[in-house]
Structure 1
Amino acid sequence: MASIPATLRYDVRDPFAVRMSFPAPATLEGVEVCWTFARELLSTGVAESAGTGDVRVRPYGYDRTVLEFHAVEGTAIVHVRTGELERFLTDTAELVPAGAEALHMDMDSDLVELMRDAY
């Protein structure tokens, strides 16, 4: 199985989401691709199958988690060590505990941004 240097990121300014980026050489288009999905999906998926849309996460064996990314071009299946995902999720929970995401959002600024071009 080939290793792909994907990067998993969390930004407290978008506390409900995580992002996984794949470098250009690892993609069909030859450009970096970034998938954004729910932190809760990742958290649930390390223990049991989760997701029905473009991103699905499920345990695989005793030490792996599978992330599936579904697009028109095809499906990418990525195996990640479950321990690494659990450490990542622990780190995100230290920044923003699960259930406290809304406290870390600036709803007024987000609403202004959404309504900026409204007539």
Structure 2
Amino acid sequence: MTAFVHKTLVVQLRSEGTGGCPVLAHLSYDEADPFAVTAVFCHDGRVLACWRLDREMLSAGLGRPVGVGDVRLRPIATGAWHELRMEFLGDLRPDGGRHHAVVFAWAPAVAAFLRETHRLVPPGQERVPVDALLAEILSAG
């Protein structure tokens, strides 16, 4: 049986042409997939987006800018208030541009979530059961 960590945060979504909008971010971690954190963003009972984030990158983003692809993270500090700025680039739009959203999360809450995941699977101790995965693939074929 695998163990899970889950945390729900209220975050601030900023998108093109809009101001800030509070949405729920459901962060989850499954020790069976030890490198990933799933982030599901919801508003009014609807799922707006679901992203699988690299746990190490999420942790690093609390202290410095990281990411050059579809996900970019960086810390933002305003006085005593510390946030994690998460920028997401999505699918192509009909006009040739890409969907783009920026989410601001309270950094101490993200850090607390990550500490829980690190208690479950410490950094550097992640393992993927490759032999079991290959056996499953070969038995299905």
- Give the TM-score normalised by the residue count of structure 2: 0.71
- Cα gap change, 1:61/1:12 in structure 2, threshold over 3 Å: closer, same or farther? same
Alignment partner, residue 90 of structure 1: 115
Question: Given the alignment, which residue of 23, 27, 50 partners 1:8?
Answer: 27
Shift of 1:60: 1.1
Amino acid at match of 1:100: Q
Aligned residues: percent identity?
35
Q: Which has the larger radius of gyration?
A: 2
Higher strand share: 2
Higher helix share: 1
Amino acid at match of 2:118: A
Contact 1:42 1:57 in 2 (8 A): yes
SS of corresponding position for 2:131: helix
Alignment partner, residue 52 of structure 1: 68
Alignment partner, residue 106 of structure 1: 129
Contact 1:10 1:18 in 2 (8 A): yes
Separation (CA, whole Å) in 2 of partners of 1:78 and 1:32 = 12
User: Which piece of structure 1 moves more, 2-11 or 105-114?
Assistant: 105-114
Question: Given the alignment, which residue of 28, 44, 66 partners 2:85?
Answer: 66
Amino acid at match of 2:90: A
Q: Which of 1 and 2 has higher RCO (CA within 8 Å, sep 6+)?
A: 2
Structure 1: gaps spanning 5 or more residues: none
Separation (CA, whole Å) in 1 of partners of 2:72 and 2:119 = 24
Structure 2: gaps spanning 5 or more residues: 1-19, 94-98
Shift of 1:110: 1.9
Amino acid at match of 1:16: F
CA RMSD of aligned residues (A): 2.1
Contact 2:57 2:66 in 1 (8 A): yes
Question: Given the alignment, which residue of 59, 78, 82 partners 1:43?
Answer: 59
- Give the TM-score normalised by the residue count of structure 1: 0.83
Question: Size of the alignment, in residue pairs?
Answer: 113
Alignment partner, residue 22 of structure 1: 41
